[in-house]
Structure 1
Amino acid sequence: MRTNRAWAALAATIVLWAVAFPAIRVGLAGYGPAALALLRLMIASASLALAAPMLGLRRPARRDLPLIALAGLTGMAGYQFLLTWGEVHVPAGTASLIIVTNPVYSAVIAMLFIGERMTARQVVGAGAALVGTIAIATARAGVEIDRSAWVILAAAVAFGSYHVTIKPLLSRYSGLEVTAYATWTGTLLLLPGLPALVQAIPHATARATLAAACLGVAPSALGFVAWGYAVARLPVTTATGALYLVPPIAVVTGWLWLGENPRAIELLGGVLAIASVAFANSRRRPEPDPQRKATELASPANSSSDKVH
């Protein structure tokens, strides 16, 4: 029963995070990027604050506040603002295809700043993912679209930085606690956009405001709660591998909801990007030891009479 619930939580996470990309486009019809990113995080912060007593969130230690601030800057304020800004001109599905490359940038940043070694697979995967991103960025004519695609790439790098930043925090706090701390911090960092938000609210359509509210409650709050539940009960490789389903669902949702039609080169670039991330995160099987294999085959336990056919 618990496993079934974990699978349900994982499926909910994938759908909620995929729908976020077209929902941002809907919200941008009534709000500017800074205002929409702030409104989304404000709603997410309020939702997490209300749920904090039920979820058993603890108060963070003072020594961890600098890392929490950096996590809020990279994974919440920076990522949300850059992604929202980029989607002004980039279709939702296309944006999701770029964002999915963030794990390879995590590997590069970890190598540069905390001394983690990159495997040959990660180096090849990072290069191929960048090629896929370039194909996506140059698929459509127009300088604004090209620039916006690079802004979304910056969002992917920011999110990759977030994964590296929270690594030491996850040894002392739960994933849900780290998410809550980063969300609250990111909201504070985006408060300079409050005047723009106040001006936009009276003129925004109900559809845009509803999209912003859904972004805050569903992908940002419920999505991370469901993700934490799933990761705690399923193999990490299974859970993270399932995230490759987010871009295809986002592309289909953008087509059904907004009438967006990704171009063939964008889809090819996206497939290359997803395949590159999967390749970079895969592990090469160790070569079998011939001597050990011969010993095992020669042992009585492996005789044909003992095997079940």
Structure 2
Amino acid sequence: MSELLGMAAGVGSAVIGGTAITGIRYLAPSTDPFTLAAIRFGIGVCILLPIACLKNERWPALRDLPVVAGLGLLFFVLFPVILNGALIWTTAGRAALTLATLPLLTMAVAALMGAEPFTARKAVAAVIAFSGVAAALAGGLRAVPAGAWKGDLLMLGGALFLAFYNIWSRKFIVRSGPLRFTSVGMGVAVPVLLLAAWMVDGFASVAAFDRTKAWAAVYVGVFGGAAAYWLWAEAIARTTPTRVAMAITINAVAASAAGAIALGEPIGWSLVLGIAAVAVAIGLATRPDRT
């Protein structure tokens, strides 16, 4: 049951995060990447921290705080910067497809570190999920901008960072609790992001937001900042790193669907095929391992 709850949390995180990408796309032309990340995680930590204080979980131990802080900077500062940098060179579709290699990368890293045994079934599930994302994004992959390989390589590096995060963070999440672990990591990252936003004068752009943009920012913070990352930590605590990583493949599919609904972006049979393939892959990955 814990495994199924973990996968459900991972899928929920990916779906919520995918819909939040629509809001991020809407806001991106109006501000800079650092300010957008500061808004997202600033709102997120303001929601999570009070709930964490009320929830019956352990705070990260004093001896764990340096590692928890480092993981927070990796997850909430470094990876968003890598993602934003990659999108300078490559398209959103290509970046999402590259991120869909996360299950395969996590599987390889987990096997090398002895954190999780390699199984052919999980490998097949990862390949099916990757193929489903490729099908869903097929239309957007036709246009290849000059220098796209630089963004693709940067995004691959970001996916590798996430693979290590999934593995390294698990024992610290289990020692404390998903909500308090996430709150501390996000709380460490937000001052860094606020300082970066201040240095690029990002707050001036926020002051110019109209009501629609303000509500979009609230949505990105509440759902893309608080809910999605809390659920991701819950997933890591309850199931294996590879199964958690499998859920990320639905992120791009959810983003495509939300973009079609909210922004009028094109939708076709490729998206339906992608959703079906990812569903099959997740179902295959969640089958219990034989002992």
TM-score, length of structure 1 as denominator length: 0.67
For the structure 1 residues 110 and 180, does the alpha-carbon distance in structure 2 shift closer, same or farther, using more than 3 Å as the test? same
Q: Does 1:162 align with 2:168?
A: no
Counterparts in 2 of 1:104 and 1:75: CA distance versus 1, 3 Å: farther
The change in CA–CA distance for 1:145 and 1:23 in structure 2 (over 3 A counts) is: farther
Q: Deviations over 1:194-231 (max 9, x none)?
A: 31322322344443343232111112213344567789
Matched residues in 1 for 2:261 and 2:240: separation?
Answer: 32
Question: Following the alignment from structure 2 to structure 1, what is the Cα–Cα distance between the partners of residues 11 and 141?
Answer: 32
**2:213 maps to which residue?**
208
- Determine the C-alpha separation between the residues in 1 that align with 2:9 and 2:159: 24
- Amino acid corresponding to residue 32 of structure 1 in structure 2: D
1:18-29 equivalent positions in 2, closer than 5 A = 18-29=18-29
Residues 33 and 170 (structure 1 numbering): CA distance in 2 closer, same or farther, change over 3 Å? same
Instruction: Select which of 159, 176, 179 maps to 1:176.
Output: 179
Alignment-derived partner of residue 17 in structure 2: 17
> What is the SS of the residue equivalent to 1:71?
helix
> What 5-or-longer segments of structure 1 have no aligned partner?
288-309
Matched, 1:63 2:63: yes
Q: Which moved more, 1:218-227 or 1:156-165?
A: 218-227
Q: How does 1:121-270 map to 2 (within 5 A)?
A: 121=120, 139-143=142-146, 145-195=148-198, 196=200, 197-225=202-230, 245-261=250-266
> What's the TM-score once normalised by structure 2's chain length?
0.71
Using the TM superposition, give the Cα deviation of residue 128 of structure 1 relative to its aligned residue in structure 2, in angstroms: 8.7
* Partner Cα distance (2:211, 2:128) in 1: 42
Once the two structures are superposed, what CA deviation does each residue of 1:215-255 show, in whole Å capped at 9, x if it has no partner?
A: 11112213344567789999999988766544332211112
1:204, 1:89 → 2: CA distance?
Answer: 27
Asked if the contact 1:25/1:87 (under 8 Å) is kept, the reply is: no
- Residue 104 of structure 2: aligned partner: 104
Q: Is the 8 A contact 1:29 1:208 kept in 2?
A: no
What displacement does 1:37 show? 1.1
Greater radius of gyration (CA) = 1
* Distance in structure 2 (CA, Å) of the matches to 1:255 and 1:120: 36
Note closer, same or farther for the CA distance 1:37–1:165 as it changes in structure 2 (3 Å cut): same
Which structure 2 residues correspond to residues 294-305 of structure 1 after superposition, within 5 A?
none
Cα deviation for residue 115 of structure 1 reads 3.8
122-131 vs 220-229, greater mean Cα deviation = 122-131
* 8 Å Cα contact 1:87-1:148 kept in structure 2: yes
Tell me how far apart the structure 2 counterparts of residues 125 and 231 of structure 1 sit (CA, whole Å). 18
Residues 111-132 of structure 1, C-alpha deviations (whole Å, 9 max, x = no match): 45x3446526367777898898
**Change in CA separation of 1:106 and 1:86 when aligned onto 2, cut-off 3 Å:** same
Contact 1:14 1:243 in 2 (8 A): yes
1:186 alignment partner AA: A
CA 1:107–1:140 in 2, change beyond 3 Å: closer, same or farther? same
Structure 2: which 5+ runs fail to align?
Answer: none
Between 103-112 and 45-54, the greater mean CA deviation after superposition: 103-112
In the TM superposition, 1:76-91 aligns within 5 A as 76-87=76-87
Verify the 8 A CA contact 2:58 2:177 in the aligned structure 1. Answer: no
Amino acid at match of 2:196: G
Stretch moving more, 117-126 or 19-28: 117-126
Residue 168 and residue 285 in structure 1: after superposition, are their counterparts in 2 closer, same or farther (change >3 A)? closer
**Amino acid of the structure 2 residue aligned with 1:221:** A
Distance in 2 of aligned mates of 1:127 and 1:15: 20
Q: How many residues matched?
A: 280
Which region of structure 1 is more displaced relative to structure 2, 207-216 or 114-123?
Answer: 114-123
Change (3 A) 1:224 1:283: same
With over 3 angstroms needed to count, the CA separation of the structure-2 counterparts of 1:50 and 1:94, relative to structure 1, is: farther
Q: Counterpart of 1:305?
A: none
Indicate the percent of aligned positions where both proteins have the same amino acid.
23
RMSD of the alignment, in Å? 4.7
- Structure-1 residue corresponding to 2:54: 54
